Amino acid sequence: MKFVDTTLRDGHQSLIATRMSTKDMIPVLEAMDKVGFYSMEMWGGATFDVAVRFLNEDPWERLRKIREKIKNTKLQMLLRGQNLVGYRHYADDTVRLFVRKMVENGIDIIRIFDALNDERNLLIAIDEAKKMKAHVQGAISYTVSPVHTLDYYLNYARKLVELGVDSICIKDMAGLLTPKEAFELVNSLKKQFSLPIDVHSHCTCGLAIASYQAALDAGADIIDTALSPFALGTSQPPFEPFYYSLSKQGIVPPPDWETLNFLIEYFTKVREKYSAFDVKMTTIDPKILYAQVPGGMYSNMVKQLQEQKMSHKMKEVLEEIPKVQRDLGYPPLVTPTSQIVGVQAVLNVMTGERYSKVTKEVKEYVKGFYGRPPAPIDPELVKKILGDEKPIDVRPGEIIPPEVEKSKEELGLLAKNDEDVLIYIILGEVGKKYLQKRYVDQLKIDFDLLKEFEAPVYPV
């Protein structure tokens, strides 16, 4: 039985808006390395964007620093297939370079998923990861809809296996997986495939702990948990009680309470430090059971409605989300489709007329630029949004021109290495401004050093 610790990625992404800095992680890395986690999910997801956009940090440097301290535990990251860690599809040359550089910088396990469960969006990332000898975990984006049946998930898992993944993850981002469904899905996957099965969920709806136990009963090999200060709420179930329970059954060694107590005290203080960003969720949110809204998406909508002085419309928005999801072919609500559906639902409510205003992202989604929806989109809606334009029917990455060399030329002296180029490609102007600031700061440091060691001038 193995545990993935999510404290340094999904734990703080779910609870404190991904604001934990690298300097807050460094002091406890060696202690975390002693706990006995199978892997630590500590990179990818929103961490790349937030590091640059809000923390003025180099995400690549975070990866290298953590790798330097972690000797016994595998390092894991979350990759959105052709989306990488951004919000659009990137060119194939960018995907290959990104996968190559993250493995070179220290990643062992890559959890790769596509928001639409369109396997075409995983092809390039999986191929490059296999070339780099990384462990590839293919993830199933889990949701509840008329088309997302047990057979649907088993068929998708078969596609992942055919692509050569090393393990399979059931990725339940909104915490919708019930104990019955968890048991049936894990049991069926174990019967059909000989790969390890990992279960990832969130406690938002109050189902995850019971569903994890059901998954373990069905033979799940791995579960995702967080250390208790960064567990529960919109995050994962807590590590300590699950590990303790399994230790009592003789499945895992007894817990190292001295190390765990140290980590609990430390991360409790870290969470307090970021209280301004804390979701402060003290109860479950059963509304998610019908709205299917992941925690990050919910908090973004709250902020959006507050800015428009329309907080009183939240109930209508939550009722509109499943309608938009149905209209668009039941996409699972995970980045980037959660933002696409959520923003359009807010627009529909604010304008009072559904789809009278349509976002650029919704139009691109309907065109097929994000991939193949799980179910056909309402033809009338396609006509209303696209007019006489026709959706594409090829893999979206095929129509994006190469961008790495062009980006290197655009950056010039700002790019010290390929990692810098990737920051720019993925984050655009936000990435460029970060690189510009770092370049200017470095020039100031070099100038100050030059003044300090300037040879004294003696009178003749």
Per residue in 415-458, pLDDT (tens digit) is 999 999 999 999 999 999 999 999 998 887 665 655 655 555 54
pLDDT in tens, 192-240: 999 999 999 999 889 999 999 999 999 999 999 999 999 999 899 999 9
- The pLDDT tens digits for 74-92 are 999 999 999 999 989 999 9
What value does the mean pLDDT take over residues 352-367?
94
Whether residue 146 contacts residue 330, with contact meaning beta carbons closer than 8 Å, is answered with yes
Percent of the chain with pLDDT over 70: 95
Residue predicted with more confidence, 158 or 204: 158
Q: Which pair of tokens denotes residue 128?
A: 């490059």
If you average pLDDT over every residue of the chain, what do you get?
A: 93
SS (H, E, C) 353-370: CCCCCCCHHHHHHHHCCC
What average pLDDT does range 133-148 have in this prediction? 96
Work out the average pLDDT over 273-302.
77
Who has greater pLDDT, 223 or 279? 223
- Centre a 10 Å sphere on the Cβ of residue 75 and count the other Cβ atoms it contains: 20
Tell me the percentage of the chain whose pLDDT exceeds 90: 81
The pTM of the whole model exceeds 0.75: yes
Structure tokens at 419: 């990692």
Task: Tell me the pLDDT tens digit for each residue of 164-188.
Answer: 999 999 999 989 999 999 999 999 9
* Cα separation, 139 vs 324, whole angstroms: 24
pLDDT for the residue 453:
56
Residue 460 pLDDT class (50, 70, 90 cuts): very low
Provide the pLDDT for residue 307: 79
CA-closest candidate to residue 422, choices 115, 5, 95, 6: 95
Which of 246-250, 412-416, 444-448 has the weakest average pLDDT?
A: 444-448
pLDDT given for residue 304 in this prediction: 73
- Contacts of residue 73, Cβ cutoff 8 Å, sequence gap at least 6: 32, 33, 37, 38, 39, 40
- CA–CA separation, 187 and 189 (whole Å): 6
More confident residue, 306 or 418: 418
Binning pLDDT at 50, 70 and 90, where does residue 315 land? confident
CA distance 158 to 39: 25
- The number of helix segments (H) and strand segments (E) in the chain equals 20, 8
Whether the predicted pLDDT of 153 surpasses 80 = yes
| Mean pLDDT confidence for 361-377 | 95
φ and ψ of 137, to 5 deg? -105, 115
pLDDT in tens, 1-55: 999 999 999 999 999 999 999 999 999 999 999 999 999 999 999 999 999 999 9
Amino acid 280: pLDDT: 86
Domains belonging to the chain, first-starting first, are 2-277 (3.20.20.70), 288-399 (1.10.472.90), 406-452 (no CATH)
